[in-house]
Chain A
């Protein structure tokens, strides 16, 4: 089944306004359409980019499914809804795409939509005893006073099945067996890179199961954005993945600019692209530092930080911020680049090319590092696509998923760079992808830095921006995968709903597949190599 087939064969299918081209599909046909799209012989929609829960009020509760075919690159987005607000039911697609296993839990958590057939219907971010569904429009903000008691994680999870007579049947599944030795790792743990918690069943040193417990720094950014004007929403994006601050904000700016029809200047495009790549180098240097530190090598850790500091200094001079810069704005960038910016960037790249050899000398060829990384933590290409593990983790499985190549934005179609892919699928491949990408980013910057055209860095925009009605989307290649923005606008100055595709959520989901059967120490190394950042998962 393809896009045209959906439009032709499904009664009531219609296209919603907006650049996302979302097709409305009636609930009764949804499951059939999803299967058809997934199993199309020519262009199977095997990559489920995102599931976005929605409360359409009158139209009911539902979700938008963004899909893409890794074979042909075709994309399609379908949406479906149920009008039953008391017990909203949607059929699960977790048997078609593994990523739905975790993303449907997110929708359930925020909208209370039960996915029939999903084997693990627990809340994802909020406490298990949370009252109500916070992203519904009729949610009572006072229904959950601050609780000081401990949250006890249930060991039993429910699967809901719809019987023929229309009643729901609940089936219990065990998360952990009674005799499992379950170690709680996090939220305060040196190697979870933030407030992530994983419950890990161990058999001696061997990992039997990993169950991520999320939400320790969930701030409700998507809910907050529903009451902020568009320029105000920009402030939140830097606080998602703080190591992709530029790129996340770039994505949101692009989305708003496309929807509002704002053309930005060539100069701003150059600056944005260079900043994105500097940010990527920054993030990958930190990745290197954290990976080596997690594997017990303290000295190379400081190498990465030494060079990263230079990038932060460059950021600081131009943007005033080091970690989160608040630099992109709707219509361009906040301020013009510092007069010494170009020279400093060139000097830095020259320096980096020289010292990157040290990085490899001390760690890459090391016999201990080699034996601990090669062949460890295998994620197959099929799993990577099915779980939606984009970024370096996906590219280490041979899946060419770089948004900069798939859907070029900014200046990426004008510069020459290689998409790094490895086929080994192991920790070492994930490590090498990042190390090689640092060099590719250097190449991109070198092609741009001398040619920044003159012109204005920011076009004038109206003080109050209203987006036309519709569903708008954009995506960028953030430091650790595809970062997407989905805005549903009803023509107001605030978004009706704003959703961010988390780059880290699929990576955390993949931890179970990656770590099973490996040692506890490998879990740490694998966790570092898939490179997740928690504030981006707990939005």
Chain B
């Protein structure tokens, strides 16, 4: 198959050129340091901008489901400036201290959550040659980094010294730890199919067909399992029982205000994006364009669409799927959540992994 399209928008040569130019005018250490700073700023800006886009999208999508218009006043037609205005408002709000809270842990918790979120966020394959944190155990790193978030949630619930937050945190802990198993197994299944743990390599291996097509039925089942478990990992409905507004007012972050609350809120939306991004990477070919065998003209046109557009397009499609779920279903109860995971989803994901192994060994995948 002709894979020349891989080089159309490859950022690697450009980045290498910039690096060598910087090394020419300053010591290499300083150059690397400067690059790190620039990349860090890019990550944070991208993180914030995506959060705004996601919140706006959520409000518009749920409005559409609920026969409403959604934000429509601030910023002209469509209320485009509503979310930036909300961001400014939350930035200038007071972060208050609780009298009987464990001050250190109470202050630390939101940062742990946001740290986990940003670390995983940095691993996403944005574009050909545009991955930020790239290593040969990339997907394993994603799983490890995302686990830090649970710690933040547990600490937030515990340190706030409130019964509601404690219940929320315990629920959340039980749920996240359970569903991480399914996610791990599903990821392993797809790693098996791709034959590598490097995120870049996983995407590259899908140049001749997305994993969801290559792995056919097995991959589709794995995809559905991943979506369910990922939804639970992102603490979103119908798995939002950790913050279940109607039961626990706001769950583990009830006692937070201002930007500390904002961190939880940001992380929640970005985790939705990350979950979708990983789903895109593992199942939908990352930034790879859509190719249909035999339609060369169509494929050539698809190749001209830059990788980042593909990646964001697919990710937002998965985000939409998850929003659809959230705005349709009522909330599960904690015992049902755990029953679903331990009695149905985890055994099923083990089975899927086994079948995938068999398929791979006997060459039953494309």
Partner-B contacts on A (CB < 8 A): 181, 183-184, 189-191, 202, 205, 292-299, 301-303, 306, 362-363, 366, 368-369, 371-372, 519-522, 524
Bound Cα distance from A302 to B246, whole angstroms = 16
B3 at the interface (CB under 8 A from A): no
Can you pick out 9 interface pairs between chain A and chain B where the beta carbons lie within 8 Å of each other?
A183-B164, A189-B249, A202-B167, A205-B171, A293-B246, A296-B240, A296-B331, A297-B329, A298-B62
B247–A521 CB distance below 8 A: yes
- Stretch of B13-21, B46-54, B64-72, B90-98 that contacts chain A: B64-72
Minimum CB–CB distance from B173 to chain A (whole Å) comes to: 13
B62 to chain A: which residues have CB within 8 Å?
A: 298-299
Given known pairs A183-B164, A205-B167, the reply for A295 and B66 (CB within 8 Å) is no
B167–A294 CB distance below 8 A: no
B238 at the interface (CB under 8 A from A): yes
B249 to chain A: which residues have CB within 8 Å?
A: 189-190
Interface bits B150-169 vs A (CB < 8 Å: 1, else 0): 00000000000001100100
Interface bits B282-319 vs A (CB < 8 Å: 1, else 0): 00000000000000000000000000000000000000
Between A and B, how many residue pairs show CB distances below 8 Å? 80
Instruction: Name B32-69 residues within 8 Å CB distance of A.
Output: 62, 65-68
B336 at the interface (CB under 8 A from A): yes
Minimum CB–CB distance from B62 to chain A (whole Å) comes to: 7
The chain A residue with its CB closest to the CB of B245 is A190
Bound Cα distance from A183 to B66, whole angstroms = 33
Bound Cα distance from A184 to B245, whole angstroms = 16
Which listed residue (A181, A296, A522) contacts B330, Cβ 8 A?
Answer: A296
Instruction: Name B218-258 residues within 8 Å CB distance of A.
Output: 237-238, 240-241, 244-247, 249
Minimum CB–CB distance from B229 to chain A (whole Å) comes to: 16
Bound Cα distance from A368 to B67, whole angstroms = 23
Minimum CB–CB distance from B178 to chain A (whole Å) comes to: 15
Interface size class of B (residues with CB under 8 A): 20 to 34
Minimum CB–CB distance from A284 to chain B (whole Å) comes to: 19
B67–A306 CB distance below 8 A: yes
Bound Cα distance from A429 to B329, whole angstroms = 20
A191–B247 CB distance below 8 A: yes
Bound Cα distance from A372 to B332, whole angstroms = 8
Minimum CB–CB distance from A181 to chain B (whole Å) comes to: 7
A296–B237 CB distance below 8 A: yes
B237 to chain A: which residues have CB within 8 Å?
A: 296, 298
Supply 5 further A-B pairs (C-beta < 8 A) apart from A184-B163, A521-B247.
Answer: A183-B163, A183-B164, A366-B329, A368-B331, A520-B247
Which listed residue (A302, A363, A521) contacts B334, Cβ 8 A?
Answer: A521
The chain A residue with its CB closest to the CB of B327 is A299
B246–A191 CB distance below 8 A: yes
B103 at the interface (CB under 8 A from A): no
A366–B247 CB distance below 8 A: no
CB-based closest 10 A-B pairs: A296-B331, A297-B330, A302-B66, A295-B330, A191-B246, A521-B333, A294-B246, A183-B163, A296-B330, A299-B65
B331–A297 CB distance below 8 A: yes
Minimum CB–CB distance from B224 to chain A (whole Å) comes to: 15
Bound Cα distance from A296 to B67, whole angstroms = 18
B333–A522 CB distance below 8 A: yes
B86 at the interface (CB under 8 A from A): no
The chain A residue with its CB closest to the CB of B63 is A302
B163 to chain A: which residues have CB within 8 Å?
A: 181, 183-184
Bound Cα distance from A372 to B339, whole angstroms = 13
Instruction: Name B323-353 residues within 8 Å CB distance of A.
Output: 327-336
A302 to chain B: which residues have CB within 8 Å?
A: 66-68
A303 to chain B: which residues have CB within 8 Å?
A: 67
Bound Cα distance from A524 to B246, whole angstroms = 7
B238–A368 CB distance below 8 A: yes
The chain B residue with its CB closest to the CB of A297 is B330
B334–A298 CB distance below 8 A: no
Bound Cα distance from A190 to B65, whole angstroms = 22
A520 to chain B: which residues have CB within 8 Å?
A: 167, 247
